[in-house]
Amino acid sequence: MVAEVNRISRLRSFFSGLKKHCRVLSFAVFFCLLVLPCRNAFSLSLISDDETETFLHNIIRPIFNAAGVPFNANKVFILNDPSLNAFVSDGNYLFIHTGTLMNADNVNELSGIIAHEAGHISGGHIVRQKLRLNQFQTLAAVSLIAAGATAAASGNGDAAMAVMLGSQSSLINTMTAYQMQEERSADESAVKYLEQTGQSPLGLKTFMKKISRLNRLSGYEEMPYFSTHPMNSERAAFFNQALDKSSGSTNSPYDAEFQIIKAKLSAFLLPTAQVLKKYPETDHTPAGRYARAILSYREGKLPQALKILDSLSLSQPDNPYFYELKGQFLFESGKIEEALKAYQKALQLRPDSPEIMLGWAQTAMEAPHGKTQLAKIITGLNQTQLKRPNLVAWQLLSRAYEENKQTAEMYYAAAQYSIGIRNFEAARRQIEAAEQADPPADLKLRLKDLKIKLNQSN
């Protein structure tokens, strides 16, 4: 299932740092391309999809291992953005744009980009950049004070502006020089990690060429004065040297799976005309059929979508995601009992998937169920929350606990949901109600922890 989610609790510290980062950059009048992405920092949308995330984890894990970077699946995010980009943030969070996933031709290109970002992490570039930004913020303030002093002494505003612009120009040159060095370092590290994992640096080179081509089409010309990356000619020469020495392969055992992932993302995110151009009716590959199943559902053609998904399941009976998507389509179309069967099959094939478990639990809550099934729903939702906390799961848990007459647990789950949507007053009342409902000992401890979380969230 592809769904956009706001992972507020996991990202609050990152976005807080990003907001501060934006203020520093704006204050110091750094290069506009660094500032513009920050303006929409709080409207970023993330995509949660177990099929795509599982694939990415299989690609990322060996590269991070080669880089000596601890792999944490909860720190990998898919950003719903059509541009060709990936980046790392403070705390070693890795963000990969959907544009990168949909435009990479193969796993080798994607691996190259991930290896480059791993180079930034292992090189400690994020931490050093934070320290430099703090220093530059101070220097920028000093330049403004100096400009004010010049204006007061001379009565000449133009002289003050000259002082300020001269200082800011020096800051820009210093900042971009550091970033160019770090990009070179990340490229060198990426080549090393790719070699260690038996992969060719060709994919990194070809994807960088795609970025360069898009830059030219958009009218952006790289200039040494403003560039935060090495010049393309310099970069190409480095990659060519690396290719001459490399014995790595451009093939991956995940290439076929990647084509499926690309089809899924494209079919959900792109306009109909673009999807059909990429995956015409003449495309009988699994990726092409997958894309058209999703497109058929988007166009309200449920029987056609289900027919394609059933044919895909016949050819790949062990793929849980065809059944999961079938369950989603049926559930959203009001066919609850049929949807439940599809989700049950997906869960049999992938019992450790929090997303499939959530889909099954949501469907099971709407289907006729007794005490035994309700207990399974509660257990499944709690397992989901241990692996990947989710606001929808907290809502469902609150409903399930209420139906099961577990009042304290019901209020606890409701409070978790309220904190997630930043309704702190409601969360406070719900915690108090849970405490008054004679909670068991373990829940009392969790309520204490939740109070601390609530106070920290305010």
Tell me: the pLDDT tens digits for 332-362? 999 999 999 999 999 999 999 999 999 999 9
CA distance 204 to 202: 5
The number of angstroms, rounded, from the C-alpha of 299 to the middle of its chain's C-alpha atoms is: 27
Checking if the pLDDT of 144 tops 70, the result is no
Q: What is the pTM (predicted TM-score) of this model?
A: 0.78
Rg (the chain; Cα; Å): 26
Does 175 reside within a domain?
yes
Q: Which residue has the higher pLDDT, 179 or 83?
A: 83
Q: Is the pLDDT of residue 173 over 50?
A: no
The residue that leads in pLDDT, 428 or 144, is 428
Residues in the chain: 458
Choose from 150-159, 210-219, 327-336 the range with maximum mean pLDDT.
327-336
Domain-located, residue 331? no
Percentage of the chain modeled with pLDDT above 90: 61
The answer to the question of residue 206 being in a domain is yes
Whether residue 8 contacts residue 420, with contact meaning beta carbons closer than 8 Å, is answered with yes
Q: Is residue 20 part of a domain?
A: yes
The whole-number pLDDT of residue 181 equals 73
Whether 261 is covered by a domain: the verdict is no
Residue 286 resides in a domain: no
Residues 190-239: pLDDT tens digits?
999 999 999 999 999 999 888 877 766 555 444 443 344 444 677 778 88
pLDDT over 90 at 34, yes or no:
no
pLDDT at 169 over 70: no
For residue 143, pLDDT over 50 is answered with: no
Residue 427, domain member (yes or no): no
Position 387 pLDDT exceeds 70: yes
pLDDT band at 156 (very low <50, low <70, confident <90, very high): very low
pLDDT band for 317, please (50, 70, 90 cuts): very high
Greatest mean pLDDT among 39-48, 102-111, 225-234? 102-111
Least confident piece of the model among 7-16, 215-224, 261-270: 7-16
pLDDT band at 67 (very low <50, low <70, confident <90, very high): very high
pLDDT at 150: 43
Query: Domain range spanning residue 132?
Result: 3-245
Distance from C-alpha of 443 to C-alpha of 10, rounded to nearest angstrom: 22
Per-residue model confidence (pLDDT) at position 183: 81
Q: Looking at the domain assignment, is residue 241 inside a domain?
A: yes
Whether residue 148 has pLDDT greater than 50? no
Q: Into how many domains does the chain fold?
A: 1
- For residue 362, the tally of other CB atoms under 10 A from its CB is 21
35: pLDDT strictly greater than 60 = no
* Interval 99-110 mean pLDDT: 96
- The three-state (H, E, C) secondary structure of the chain, written as one string: CCEEECCHHHHHHHHHHHHHHHHHHHHCCCCHHHHHHHHHHHHCCEEECHHHHHHHHHHHHHHHHHHCCCCCHHHEEEECCCCCCEEEECCCEEEEEHHHHHHCCCHHHHHHHHHHHHHHHHCCHHHHHHHHHHHHHHHHHHHHHHHHHHHHHHCCHHHHHHHHHHHHHHHHHHHHHHHHHHHHHHHHHHHHHHHHCCECCHHHHHHHHHHHHHHHHCCCCCCCCCCCCCCHHHHHHHHHHHHHHCCCECCCCCHHHHHHHHHHHHHHHCCHHHHHHHCCCCCCCHHHHHHHHHHHHHCCCHHHHHHHHHHHHHHCCCCHHHHHHHHHHHHHCCCHHHHHHHHHHHHHHCCCCHHHHHHHHHHHHHCCCCHHHHHHHHHHHHHHHHHCCCHHHHHHHHHHHHHCCCHHHHHHHHHHHHHHCCCHHHHHHHHHHHHCCCCCHHHHHHHHHHHHHHHHHC
Q: What is the mean pLDDT of the chain?
A: 81
